[in-house]
Amino acid sequence: MKTLSNKAFDAVTQLFHNVSGIRLNESKHALVTGRLQRLATEAGETDLESYVDKLLRGGAPAQEMTRLVDRLTTNETYFFREPQHFNDLADRLDALAPGQDFKVWSAASSSGEEAYSVAMLMSDRLGPGTGPAPWQIVGTDLSTAMVESARRGLYPTDRARLVPPAYLKRFCLKGQGEQTGQVLMSRELRSRVRFEAGNLMQPLPDDLPMFDVIFLRNVLIYFDNDAKAGIVRRVLGRLKPDGVLYTGHAESLSNLNLPVRAVGTAVHGHA
Residues involved in catalysis = 35, 141
169 class by beta-carbon count within 10 Å (0-12 exposed, 13-18 middle, 19+ buried): exposed
In angstroms, rounded to a whole number, what is the distance separating the alpha carbons of residues 174 and 238? Answer: 36
Buried/exposed 19-54: b ≥16 CB within 10 Å, e otherwise: bbbbebeeeeeeebbebbbebbeeeebeebeebbeb
Q: Is 192 helix (H, G, I), strand (E, B) or coil?
A: coil
For 120-183, the three-class secondary structure string (H helix, E strand, C coil) is HHHHHHHCCCCCCCCEEEEEEECCHHHHHHHHHCEEEHHHHCCCCHHHHHHHEEECCHHHCCEE
